[in-house]
Amino acid sequence: MSITSDARFWDKSSRRYAKSRIADPSGYERTLERTRAYLQPGDSMLELGCGTGTTALRLANGVRSYLATDISGGMIAIAEEKLAVVSIPALSFRTATAEELVHEESRFDAVLGFNYLHLVRNVPDTLRSIHVLLKPGGLFISKTPCLGDMNPLIRLLLLPAMRAIGMAPHVSSLGASALEQLIIDAGFEVLVRESHASKGKDQRPYIVARKR
């Protein structure tokens, strides 16, 4: 498996993914509300792992510019279809990764990654790239499924079996504490760690971190 094969997986899954419902709508709305509180009208924003653009379409009107990216061209194509029927001048979509973007000149006031970090192949390297992409004092805002805190049967048996038959992409089995430490090690100060689940144990910590 490779980044290329991950992109192929999401390309094939994109139409089905676009039809799926948000598992916890109340938790998602709280995440959007909290995120808006950290954004300013003059901000330039980058979203990584934007999928089919649902979050970007909800947040982009609140900032000066919003670049939403994903590894999957199929996901981006659907996002652009959505954008074509609304008017959001600040918003643009692009197939790209954090590691590719660091070689360009643009730097951002905030970087957003929802349901993203557990899907990258090298979390420390990706976090370092995000650090580079931010302006001094910029914010990295994330919400990450932490499989390391979930039922071990899922990460040790179910996911490997699904990956072996091409039914799942690469997934990192991080715990919430380990994830927070990786963010700190990449040069960030963690400002906020919250639970946004509407019920039950939250296994997707919402973290706001500032570039040191």
Q: Looking at per-residue confidence, does 5 or 66 come out higher?
A: 66
* pLDDT of amino acid 198: 87
Nearest to 141 by CA among 73, 72, 76, 47: 47
Mean pLDDT of 185-191: 98
| pLDDT tens, residue by residue, 35-86 | 999 999 999 999 999 999 999 999 999 999 999 999 999 999 999 999 999 9
| pLDDT tens, residue by residue, 67-76 | 999 999 999 9
The count of domains in the chain is: 1
The average confidence (pLDDT) of the chain is: 91
The two three-digit tokens of residue 44, written as one number:
């330039």
Confidence of residue 1 (pLDDT cuts 50, 70, 90): low
DSSP string, 19-45: HPPPS-HHHHHHHHHHHHTT--TT-EE
Whether 114 contacts 49, CB under 8 Å: yes
* pLDDT of amino acid 173: 82
Rounded Cα distance between 201 and 168, Å, is 24
The two three-digit tokens of residue 79, written as one number:
């996002």
Mean pLDDT of 140-168: 67
Rounded Cα distance between 58 and 92, Å, is 13
CATH number of residue 171's parent domain: 3.40.50.150
Task: Give Cα separations from 78 to 13, 81, 120, 151, 158 (angstroms).
Answer: 12, 5, 21, 33, 29
| pLDDT tens, residue by residue, 116-149 | 999 999 999 999 999 999 999 999 999 999 987 7
* pLDDT of amino acid 203: 79
* pLDDT of amino acid 178: 95
Rounded Cα distance between 128 and 110, Å, is 14
* pLDDT of amino acid 202: 65
Q: What is the end-to-end Cα distance of the chain in Å, rounded?
A: 34
Range of the domain at 91: 3-211
Question: What is the crossing angle of helices 73-83 and 3-19, to 10°?
Answer: 40
Mean pLDDT of 3-21: 91
Burial class (CB in 10 A: 0-12, 13-18, 19+), 24: middle
Of 90-94, 106-110, 168-172, the poorest mean pLDDT is in 168-172
Task: Compute φ and ψ for 116, nearest 5 degrees.
Answer: -125, -50
Rounded Cα distance between 70 and 49, Å, is 4
